[in-house]
Structure formats: C-alpha cells, structure tokens
C-alpha cells in the first residue's frame, strides 16, 4: 500500500488543484484528456460543455459545475431516488431560483426515462451548461427566458437503467438493455392510465381535466408504481408546470397526445382537444432540427412505418398506441402540456456523435422553451384582490379546462385565433371574456370574480334602494 | 511512479503558467492524426530499428551496467523518437532546436529562479548517464547543418513540440508507442519524461521571461511588484529553494543510480533540509516526517519536488503580476493548511469509501488502497495509449484524478461565477459584490446539498474552502 506517501501525494494534489485556480486566470482551454473510455473526461470543446457520456457521478458533477458557475440563477434539487438509490437530480434555472414568482410559467425537460436512450440525457446536461454560459454572456433570448420562466431540467429519470446500458462493453449497445428501471419496469408504461378514463368521460360525460383523484390511493399505496414514477407524479402535482418535453431515442420525431388509441387498435390518429396547439408545439421543436424536419429523410430502419410523420411530428396513437405513458398523464392529471421527442435513430449512439446531436438540437430546445410564452395568461382574483386558486379556466370550443395555481395565476396555451375564455370557481360567479390571441407573446387577461354571497349582498342592497325610492315616491 | 508524477505535474503547471501564447484549440479529432502517424511512421521505424541494432554494437559500455544498458536502448529510442517527431513540423523543430539549446544556456542566467541554473548543472554534470549519451552517439542523426543530433536535442525537440502544440499528449503518444513496441522500459520512460519536463520548463520560463520584459515597459505595476518580491516572498522562498534544490540534485542522480545508493543520499540530505527550510511549512514537514523514508522514498522525493515547483510557480505568478505578493504569500500559507486538511480528508475518505460501492458504476476510488508503483506505472501506460488531448493533465493515477479533475472543474466554474458577479455588480453601480454574503450563501447551500445527497461532504468542503480562500 502506498500508505502515507500516497495520501500525502493526494493531499498535495488537492492543494495543487487550488493552485490551478490561480493560474486559471490565464488558462485558455480548461481542457483535459478523454478517450472513448468512461474515465477521465472533460474533453471540453466549448465553454465547459464536454461532449461525452456522463455516468451518474459525472452527471452530478456537471450539474454542480453549472450551479457553481451560475449560483445566482440556478439551484439543484432532487425529486426522489431511483430504485437503486440514485438521486433524480433536477437543475432549475430562473432569476429567482427556488421560488415560484406569481405569473411566471414553469417548464420542464425530462430525459433518459428509458435508460438506454441516452442522447436526451446528454443534451439536457449540455443545455444546462449552455443556458448558464449564454446567460452570462448576455444572450438576449436566454436572459429573457431565464428572467421570465422557471426552467427545470432533469437529465435522467432512469439513472439506474442508464448505468446498465452504459456498462455494456463495446460500441454497439443492445436495443433493450437498460431501457427499464432497476426493477424491470418500463417507466413510460407505468403511469396511471388516464386516457381510458377521459375516453369514457367523452362519451358519457364527466370532467375533462385533472382526472387523477385520490393521490394517496392511486399513487402512494400503489405497489405497481416504480419509485421513479411516484417521484415524478408528486413533482407534477407540486409544481404548476405549463409546458414540458420528454426526451427519448430510437427514432426522430416530435410526438404529441394522445398516445393511446380510443378504439384500442394498434394505430389510429387519436387527437386530444388541444390538437391544434400540440401540432404547433411539436413543430416548434422539429422545425429547428434539420434531420427531424427533413421530409425526405429515410426512416430509421428500412421497414419502419413512418407514414404518420408530418413535418417531423406525429400524433402518438397514429404512430403506435402507448398506454400508461408520462406524456398523456401530464395532460390529463395537470395543466401541463407535454410532448415526447425522439432524438436519434440509434438509442445509444457513439460518444463522438454527441456534439453533432447537440448542434442539431440546441435551437430546437430553445425554441421549444419559448413556446411557453404563448396563448393567454393572467390572474384569477376575487373582488378584494385575493388570488383564487384552483379556479377553472375554460375555452369555448376546446374540451379541456385548466386551473389556476396557488397565486391565482394561470397560463393557457393557444394557437392564434379569437377565443372566449371563462373563469369560474365554486362559490363565485363565472366571468367570460373575449380574447384575440396572436402567435406570441401571451395575452394578459385577468379575472375578478364575484362570490355568490357578495352578489346576494349586492342584490339585497339594490332591493333596499329600490324600496326606499319607491316608498319616498309613493309616500309610504 | 514518483517521477512520472513529478514530470506530469511540472508539465501541467508549466503549461498553465504560460501567459500569452494563444494556444491552438485542440481539435476534436485527436484520434485521426495518431492513426496517420502510426501508418506513416511504420516504415521509418523499422528502418530505424535496423539502424539502431547496428549502432548498438558500436557503443562503449559505461562503468555501471544498469544505467549503461538503459542508455543503449535509450539512444536507440531517441532515434526512433526523432523519426516520429520528424514527421511533423520538421523545419520548425529543427530551427527551434538549433536556437534553443544555446538560448537556454544563456537565458538561464536571466531568469530569476536560481532553480533553473541548478537544473542545467544537474543536467550537465551529475547525470552521468547522459554524459555518456553525448559521447556515445557518433553515428547519430544530423541536423540541417550537419551537426549530430544528440539525445539532448531530441528531448529538446519533443519539449518544443509539446510547448508549441500545448499538448502533453504528444509526449504521451510517443512514449506509449515506444512502450507498446517494447523499445523502452517504464523506468526509461520516466527518465525521458523528466528530461522533457525540464527542458519544457526552461522553454516556458524563457518565453515567459521574454513576455515579462515586454510588459515591464508599458506597465509600472509589474515593476512595483517585481520590486516588492524580494521584500516579502523571496526571502523565505529563496531559503527554501536552496534546500529543495539540494534535495533535487540528489533526486535526479538517484534516477540513474541503484536504489540503495540513492536512499543513503536522500535520507542524508533530507535530514539537513527539513530542519531549516520547512519551518515555513509545518504541516508539510509533518507530512514528510510521517512518510517512512525507507519504503516510500520516491513519494517523499516527489512531494518535495511538487512543493518546490509550487513555490516556484507562485513566485513566477507574483513576478508576472498575475497575483499580488500578498496573495502569493497567503496562498502558500493556505497551502500548508490545505495539505493538513487534505491529508485528514483522505484518511476519512478511505473509511467512508465503502459507501461508494453501492453504485454499480465503476469506481476509480477503490484503486487507491492497492497502490503500488508498478501498478501505477502500468495504469499510466494504459492511459498513454488512450489519452487524446490534455491541456490539463489530470489523470496519471486513478483516485487522485477524480477529485483533482472535478475540483478543477469546480474551480473554473467558481471563477466564472465570481467574474460574472463582479461585472454584473459594476453595472449596478456597486463597488464590490458582497463576498462575505456570497460565502455565507454558498456555505449554506453546500450544506443543504450535502444533506440532500446532491453533494459529497468532501466536495462541499472543497467548495467552501475555495470560497473562503478568495
């Protein structure tokens, strides 16, 4: 054993690293060596972005580095732990990290839900670093985004699966190894199937939103749910997300709800009430990704059926039916609109290709972020100015309502057009307003709701007034 | 292991200290040139081997067998190296070689560090092996003007190449190829690295010196600081320098002598040194003492070299105005404390290492316990084969690399943060951002993150330490 000598060396090395800081003022390229191997990387080619696969420790370090560089606008937190105990790390970027500012919409990116679909994981790490760098450089688009949005980035929802997939020897990774979590559960089939319920409600009447009742029974006490699934469900319930994307691999398309066919068949276009805005959102991603948007791109595999793909987008069920997926769960249990983006024909491509995937996707990732500032947004308050949480905002002609968050704030994504918005809440009188919605930015519409009791009081007063007037006139 | 450490650290620090050179950005495709080089170098290599075989017979034997043997194949290897390095930038190399050996000897006097002068002395007089090389290479390679290309020249060439390309990988590639071909042994690789490192260091200090002369005219600040140096930093430093360089003399000699001889000399010299110079570094001294001189002499040497190099670099930075003398002194004072902390942490880390075995991810940390110089060297050989590019060389050994590379990344991130905050606050008409507030915030956040499992305790401590040293 090297013993004391070895330790002494290590001690000095640590000290030497601090020396590196002093010298760092001159360092042009904080580069380091890397090979295709998993070990020492930091082949930093651009501003601290190292285009190589990050295992769990490196993932953590990368996020910590972003936080250290941008402490004023970032925060790392964890939504829970994977089955094998890895933290499900999220980095949040906003001008007031850790705080929901009333009126500021919340966005999330989730990657690597299938552990062997690795590109999303890496892209999100690069994105976090990129946003931090660009913010500090004063990039207007990024600064605006960070000041007006709360961006949550979860590079990996399935870190256990990733480790399994990444541990495979050789370049060629198996199509299935590492896909599911450590328990063998496919997380994207593990969410409560709310599609079934909404399809029934469509036919027989019933609510068209927030269909997850009894969180405790259906989630916490449900032994069939993976810890990762449970963690995400709680995350979705806790934070009033508005827009989201779920990154996958194995094909190249932006997929939108519904994922499950109404009839139960293998494929069939199954549109959701917000089909128009979803198509627009999906296109906002795909159109900035050249291979994804390329109409002449051959399918990933020779016999693939990509007949449902239009402009790099597809309805989920038209492509193939997926029950229990996270995308539809978002739409039907909360106010969050989520699409699924398939980033690469190869699920776990060679490390050398990561840089080009970044180049292909970085504009899409930013463009999709900007979509959150569309449609209509505002506050629902009572006549005293107090926020009304959980008020319902419905749009005439769209059979999907959303609700206001704790501060009474709401965000309703809509394609350009003329709409009638109605805000209502139990014990209050509903109010309808007409709105003309452009492509962007979002139009501000606030509602001041009068409660029933207030109205009764008002009516009583009116009556008294009338009686008084009558009696004076008629000399009672 | 020790000398590769020395060499690599010197290389790292040396590369970092270069102030102006706009280093070319390493391209992403380091693999391709490597492959091409292999392909293109193959034939000449074979020819060289044939030539070298013929030459071997002609060489006279030096008095000591062991170093003698290493000399023979070493010269052959140098020939091979020459063949390899000649493939790229032939003219440039030759020009620089013609000028640099001479320049170096001249410039040594100019550079403020007494250390360099000693190195030259070492290089010339105490390394008996190399002396032989000078004489033993009559049929060797030639430069453009017909003068024979000596071993020193080849080393010079490599060093120059590394300097120009800012790429330590150059050396690694050459050495790994040689090792793979079995043409040199590990110890020879170590020796070569030392020599290249020394020459490289000279190169850099010479360049830095030229730059500093340029600076001295427009900026009065540098002069003031240069003037200040003797008052504050130099006096304790110089004393330490002398002590260390004495040790260094013996170090380099022991490279070529047998182990027992070296040990005798080493223990003798260190005994003298420790009392006088290391009083300035009580923790370091304690650390040295705690190392068993018999068994871990190499580690001890390395430590002293590293320390010496560190001090040197702080001096250089102060001289070039990168930091103020006060900062330099306080840095060195902090260094001592940091050493104490790090040693303590490493002790703790070993205890808590089992935690890491939870994760199936391959962990370099488990290698730490079973270190031995042979294993390390073998590991390093593997590394050379796979290293692509390193402007920051941070992985000769398994465990130290991880915290080192990570800490460097964190340091860089923190630096960027501070820079941005300074700039940002200036715009807001604030004179100076509130550092103590920042520090408190970071401390608080770091602790919170440790609780939540986002940061290791060690990382959090490192981050807090970095902030507290600002």
Query: Domain extents for chain A?
Result: 48-373, 376-455
In a domain, B81, yes or no: no
Instruction: Print pLDDT tens along chain A (476 aa).
Output: 445 555 555 555 444 444 444 444 333 333 333 333 344 444 445 677 889 999 999 999 999 999 999 999 999 999 999 999 999 999 999 999 999 999 999 999 999 999 999 999 999 999 999 999 999 999 999 999 999 999 999 999 999 999 999 999 877 788 899 999 999 999 999 999 999 999 999 999 999 999 999 888 999 999 999 999 999 999 999 999 999 999 999 999 999 999 999 999 999 999 999 999 999 999 999 999 999 999 999 999 999 999 999 999 999 999 999 999 999 999 999 999 999 999 999 999 999 999 999 999 999 999 999 999 999 999 999 999 999 999 999 999 999 999 999 999 999 999 999 999 999 999 999 999 999 999 999 999 999 999 999 989 999 999 999 989 988 888 75
Name the B residues in 383-442 with CB < 8 Å from any A CB: 383, 386-395, 399-417, 420-421, 424, 438, 441-442
Calpha distance A108→A90 (Å, rounded): 9
The Cβ of residue B29 has, within 10 Å, a number of other Cβ atoms equal to: 12
Identify the burial level of A42 via C-beta atoms within 10 angstroms of its C-beta, where 0-12 means exposed, 13-18 middle and 19 or more buried: buried
Kindly state which CATH superfamily the domain A48-373 is placed in: Zn peptidases (3.40.630.10)
User: How far from the centroid of its chain's Cα atoms is residue A30's Cα?
Assistant: 32
The CA-CA-CA angle for residues B308, B314, B320, to 5°, reads: 135
User: How far from the centroid of its chain's Cα atoms is residue B163's Cα?
Assistant: 13
User: How far is the CA of A239 from the CAs of A43, A128, A354, A412, B321, in angstroms?
Assistant: 36, 20, 31, 16, 50
Q: What is the pLDDT of residue B190?
A: 81
Name the B residues in 193-212 with CB < 8 Å from any A CB: none
Task: Spell out where A132-180 has E strands.
Answer: 150-154
Asked if A363 and A96 count as a contact pair (C-beta separation under 8 A), the reply is no
φ and ψ of B126, to 5 deg: -85, -20
Q: Exposure pattern of B365-386 as b/e (b: 16+ CB <10 Å)?
A: beebeebebeebbebbbebbbb
User: How far is the CA of A254 from the CAs of A204, A317, A418, in angstroms?
Assistant: 31, 13, 27
Tens-place pLDDT, residues B264-273: 344 434 433 4
Structure tokens at A223: 């032994």
Closest to B365 in 3D by CA, of B410, B404, B391, B409 = B404
ipTM of this complex prediction, to 2 decimal places: 0.82
Long-range CB pairs of B444-450, under 8 A, 24+ apart, other chains included = B445/A71, B449/A64, B449/A76
In a domain, B430, yes or no: no
Model's pTM, two decimal places?
A: 0.57
**Which residues in chain A have their CB less than 8 angstroms from residue B421's CB?**
72
Contact B359 A1 (CB under 8 A): no
User: How far is the CA of B119 from the CAs of B39, B143, B151, in angstroms?
Assistant: 37, 25, 17
Structure tokens at B445: 């956040």
In a domain, B360, yes or no: no
A423 three-state secondary structure: strand
A vs B, Cβ pairs < 8 A, gives 283
**Which residues in chain B have their CB less than 8 angstroms from residue A16's CB?**
9, 13, 306, 310, 404
Contacts of A96 (CB under 8 A, 6+ apart): none
Please identify which residue in the block is written with the tokens 């340091």: B411
Kindly state which CATH superfamily the domain A376-455 is placed in: Carboxypeptidase-like, regulatory domain (2.60.40.1120)
Instruction: Print pLDDT tens along chain B (470 aa).
Output: 555 555 454 544 444 554 444 444 344 344 444 444 434 344 555 566 666 666 665 554 444 444 444 445 555 655 655 655 566 555 555 555 544 444 444 443 443 444 444 444 444 444 444 334 434 434 334 555 555 556 677 777 777 777 777 777 777 777 777 777 666 777 777 887 888 788 878 888 888 788 777 666 554 444 444 444 344 444 444 444 444 444 444 444 434 333 334 333 444 344 334 444 555 677 777 777 777 666 677 777 877 787 787 777 777 777 777 777 777 778 777 777 777 777 777 666 665 654 544 444 443 444 444 444 554 454 554 544 444 443 334 344 444 555 667 888 899 999 999 999 888 877 655 545 577 888 899 999 999 999 999 999 999 999 998 888 87
Contacts of A451 (CB under 8 A, 6+ apart): A382, A383, A427, A428, A429
In a domain, B298, yes or no: yes
Contact A136 B420 (CB under 8 A): yes
CB of A61 less than 8 A from some CB of B: yes
Calpha distance B191→B7 (Å, rounded): 9
Please identify which residue in the block is written with the tokens 């009572």: A382
In a domain, B310, yes or no: yes
Q: What is the pLDDT of residue B232?
A: 44
Which residue out of B208, B334, B342, B370 would a mutagenesis test of the A interface target, given it has the greatest number of A Cβ atoms within 10 Å?
A: B342
Which residue out of A3, A18, A97, A166 would a mutagenesis test of the B interface target, given it has the greatest number of B Cβ atoms within 10 Å?
A: A18
CB of B346 less than 8 A from some CB of A: yes
In a domain, B164, yes or no: yes
Domain with B172, as residue range(s), is: 151-214
Q: What is the pLDDT of residue B165?
A: 74
User: How far is the CA of B141 from the CAs of A96, B75, B150, B191, in angstroms?
Assistant: 67, 11, 7, 21
A411 three-state secondary structure: strand
Name the B residues in 147-166 with CB < 8 Å from any A CB: 166
Q: What is the pLDDT of residue B5?
A: 52
CB of A266 less than 8 A from some CB of B: no
φ and ψ of A376, to 5 deg: -125, 145
Residue A431's beta-bridge partner residues?
A: A423
Identify the burial level of A46 via C-beta atoms within 10 angstroms of its C-beta, where 0-12 means exposed, 13-18 middle and 19 or more buried: middle
Q: What is the pLDDT of residue B191?
A: 82
B41 three-state secondary structure: helix
Query: What is the count of structural domains for chain B?
Result: 3
Q: What is the pLDDT of residue B185?
A: 76
Residues of A acting as catalytic residues: 342
Closest to B255 in 3D by CA, of B288, B298, B296 = B298
In a domain, B444, yes or no: yes
User: How far from the centroid of its chain's Cα atoms is residue A371's Cα?
Assistant: 12
In a domain, B203, yes or no: yes
Contacts of B203 (CB under 8 A, 6+ apart): B100, B104, B159, B160, B163
DSSP B233: I
């Amino acid at each position: 054993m090297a013993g004391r000598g070895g330790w002494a060396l290590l001690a000095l090395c640590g000290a030497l690293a601090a020396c590196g800081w002093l010298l760092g003022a001159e360092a042009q390229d904080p580069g380091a060596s890397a090979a295709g191997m998993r070990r020492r990387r930091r082949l930093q080619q651009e501003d601290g972005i190292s285009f190589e696969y990050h295992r769990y420790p490196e993932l953590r370090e990368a996020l910590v580095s972003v936080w250290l560089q941008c402490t004023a606008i970032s925060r790392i937190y964890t939504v829970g732990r994977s089955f094998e105990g890895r933290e499900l790390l999220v980095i949040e970027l906003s001008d007031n990290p850790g705080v929901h500012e009333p009126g500021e919409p919340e966005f999330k990116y989730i990657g690597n839900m299938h552990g062997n679909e690795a590109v999303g994981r890496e892209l999100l790490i690069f994105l976090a670093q990129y946003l931090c760098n660009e913010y500090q450089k004063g990039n207007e688009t990024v600064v605006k985004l960070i000041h007006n949005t709360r961006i949550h980035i979860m590079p990996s929802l399935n870190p256990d699966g990733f480790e399994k997939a990444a541990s495979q020897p050789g370049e060629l990774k198996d199509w299935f190894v590492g896909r599911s979590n450590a328990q063998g559960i496919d997380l994207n089939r593990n969410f409560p199937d709310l599609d079934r319920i909404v399809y029934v409600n469509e036919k027989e009447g019933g609510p068209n939103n927030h269909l997850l009742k009894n969180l405790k029974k259906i989630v916490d006490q449900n032994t069939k749910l993976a810890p990762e699934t449970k963690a995400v469900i709680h995350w979705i319930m806790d934070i009033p997300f508005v827009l989201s994307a779920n990154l996958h691999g194995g094909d190249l398309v932006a997929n939108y709800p519904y994922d499950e066919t109404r009839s139960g068949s293998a494929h069939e276009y199954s549109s959701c009430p917000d089909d128009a805005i979803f198509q627009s959102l999906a296109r906002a991603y795909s159109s900035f990704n050249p291979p994804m948007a390329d109409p002449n791109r051959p399918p990933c595999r020779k016999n693939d059926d990509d007949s449902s793909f239009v402009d790099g987008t597809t309805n989920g069920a038209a492509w193939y039916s997926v029950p229990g997926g996270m995308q539809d769960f978002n739409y039907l249990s909360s106010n969050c609109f989520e699409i699924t983006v398939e980033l690469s024909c190869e699920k776990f491509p060679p490390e050398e290709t990561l840089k080009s995937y970044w180049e292909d996707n970085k504009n899409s990732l930013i463009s999709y972020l900007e979509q959150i500032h569309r449609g209509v947004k505002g506050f629902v308050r009572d006549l005293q100015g107090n926020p009304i949480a959980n008020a319902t905002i419905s749009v005439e002609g769209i059979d999907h309502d959303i609700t206001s968050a704790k501060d009474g704030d709401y965000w309703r994504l809509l394609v350009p057009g003329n709409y009638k918005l109605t805000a209502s809440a139990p014990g209050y009188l509903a109010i309808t307003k007409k709105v003309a919605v452009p492509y962007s930015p979002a139009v501000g519409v606030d509602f001041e709701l009068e409660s029933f009791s207030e109205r009764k009081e008002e009516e009583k007063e009116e009556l008294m007034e009338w009686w008084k007037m009558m009696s004076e006139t008629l000399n009672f | 292991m020790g000398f590769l450490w020395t060499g690599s650290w010197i290389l790292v620090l040396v590369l970092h200290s270069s102030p102006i050179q706009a280093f070319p950005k390493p391209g992403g495709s380091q693999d391709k040139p490597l492959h091409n080089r292999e392909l293109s170098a193959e034939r000449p290599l074979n020819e060289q081997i044939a030539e070298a075989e013929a030459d071997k017979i002609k060489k006279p034997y030096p008095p000591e067998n062991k170093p003698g043997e290493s000399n023979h194949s070493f010269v052959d290897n140098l020939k091979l190296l020459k063949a390899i390095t000649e493939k790229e930038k032939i003219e440039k190399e030759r020009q620089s070689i013609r000028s640099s050996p001479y320049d170096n000897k001249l410039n040594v006097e100019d550079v403020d560090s007494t250390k360099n002068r000693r190195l030259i002395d070492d290089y010339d007089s105490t390394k008996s092996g190399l002396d032989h090389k000078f004489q033993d290479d009559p049929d060797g390679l030639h430069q453009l003007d017909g003068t024979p290309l000596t071993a020193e020249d080849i080393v010079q060439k490599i060093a120059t190449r590394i300097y120009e390309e800012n790429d330590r990988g150059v050396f690694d590639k050459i050495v790994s190829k040689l090792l793979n071909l079995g043409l040199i042994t590990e110890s020879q690789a170590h020796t070569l690295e030392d020599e290249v490192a020394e020459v490289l260091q000279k190169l850099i200090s010479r360049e830095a010196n030229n730059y500093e002369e340029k600076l001295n005219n427009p900026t009065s600040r540098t002069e003031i600081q240069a003037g200040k140096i003797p008052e504050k930093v130099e006096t304790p430093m110089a004393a330490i320098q002398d002590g260390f360089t004495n040790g260094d003399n013996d170090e380099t000699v022991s490279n070529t002598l047998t182990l027992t001889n070296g040990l005798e000399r080493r223990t003798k010299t260190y005994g003298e040194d420790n009392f006088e110079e290391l009083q300035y570094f009580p923790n370091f001294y304690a650390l040295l003492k705690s190392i068993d001189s018999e068994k871990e002499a190499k580690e001890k040497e390395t430590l002293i070299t590293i320390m010496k190099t560190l001090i040197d670099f702080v001096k250089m930075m102060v001289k070039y105005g990168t930091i103020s003398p006060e900062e330099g002194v306080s840095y060195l004072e902090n260094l001592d404390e940091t050493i104490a902390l790090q040693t303590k942490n490493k002790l703790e880390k070993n205890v808590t290492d089992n935690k890491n075995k939870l994760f199936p991810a391959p962990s370099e940390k488990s290698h730490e316990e079973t270190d031995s110089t042979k294993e390390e060297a073998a590991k390093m050989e593997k590394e050379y084969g796979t290293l692509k590019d390193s402007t920051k060389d941070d992985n000769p050994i398994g465990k130290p690399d991880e915290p080192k590379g990570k800490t460097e990344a964190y340091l860089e991130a923190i630096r960027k943060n501070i820079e941005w905050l300074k700039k940002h606050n200036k715009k807001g008409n604030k004179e100076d951002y509130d550092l103590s507030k920042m520090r408190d915030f970071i401390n608080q956040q770091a602790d919170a993150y440790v609780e939540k499992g986002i940061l290791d305790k060690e990382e959090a401590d490192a981050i807090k330490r970095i902030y507290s040293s600002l």
